[in-house]
Structure 1
């Protein structure tokens, strides 16, 4: 009989990155080396640029479980969530944007319920995307919520922009900050 290793949810380490495309084998290999050295257990990737069903998978022996939301027709957008072999994640529900802009996963790790969300905002009308995505996430979520991604918008324009201001309306920025 095989012994099962105890898993404490506090052991999770999160890693999020806009990878700016993962179509070349060299970039995928470099990504996996970085993930291994960072000792990441849950990985959120944005802008994977993997197209629909013919996309290469990012799983390997260190990260055997991966979930994707890719654009069906072109190599644009795309998000992924990967789990390290040490994370006993059991999926109960997924919600993937058909255009590859968000991916929501709900499941359990060692009898604790989690919701993982990876977002990749567009370059224009970010506040509209965020509002719609967060409304869907609010209905989907359960347990502990972990959100990561690239929103393509400054949450604090004074700190996050060189001009100290944003083209996104202030009330939209405040609404986004309140939700988190």
Structure 2
């Protein structure tokens, strides 16, 4: 007897903006902490990654074709606010509206994460989340996204909050690379 999944089962995949989008210098996107960290410590960059920024329609068409009906996607904070705060980048906002529309067109529910290890470089260099001002900048960014992207039904604030503290400030494997 063949078992079938429940009708409301979400069979999903996952991406992260910095790990998948590429287009790190495209349409007004600001730098993130990883840009400098990779330049200083490694031989590779996030360019072009899997070029999700340009190829998401193909990826989502394939998702639909193969029965993937959910995807975790992160918004690149620096694509919306290039320095983490201040003026909104309209091209970044437009990109995510188009991405979410394509998700819905392809019957792929987006589960959206606001921060996936990609603090804007300006904020990271002035203390990241150890600086209380940057916490307020994140709150403002989150509030903007919740209001702007009303087509999103599922939100997560931080991806893997534990490894952020551990990787950045205890083990030192993430920028700024501090070993406690």
- Normalising by structure 2, we get a TM-score of 0.36
The structure with more strand, counted as a fraction of residues: 1
Higher share of residues assigned helix: 2
